Amino acid sequence: MIGTLVLVITVALSATALFGLVTTALNRPPSRVHSVAVGICVALIVVQAAIAAYRVLLGGVTLPEQSTFLIYLAVAVCVPVIALQFATAEPSRWGGAVIAVGAIGTLVAVLRLQGLWIPGVPGA
């Protein structure tokens, strides 16, 4: 895992969650801006997941909880996409809250990934 990229992902997910909550408070349904925000977050997570998966599966990095780590990677990629799908399936004022909850859940998964990574990598 790349520490700087984790920080960027954390900021992006936090901003997306805040934006979702603000639009919910303003009684606005999800818009294209929500889709772009979630898309940026997912793109960042996919880059991080690809790098981490390569290092774990082919790069020789051994983690104490390797299967748990790989499951969290899959969850981190899928949750924002699923949240966006639910939010836009029936646009209402609560769509932003659905996106916010998905972003917060993904943020927890990314932070957990970072916690799983550190013990298994010497000097990380």
Distance between CA 43 and CA 124 in Å, rounded?
23
pLDDT tens figures, 34-49: 999 999 999 999 999 9
Residue 123's pLDDT band (cuts 50, 70, 90) = low
Looking at residue 30, its pLDDT comes to 92
Looking at residue 11, its pLDDT comes to 97
pLDDT tens figures, 55-81: 888 877 778 888 888 899 999 999 999
Relative orientation angle of helices 32-57 and 3-25, to the nearest 10 degrees: 160
Looking at residue 53, its pLDDT comes to 86
Other C-beta atoms closer than 10 Å to the C-beta of 43 total 12
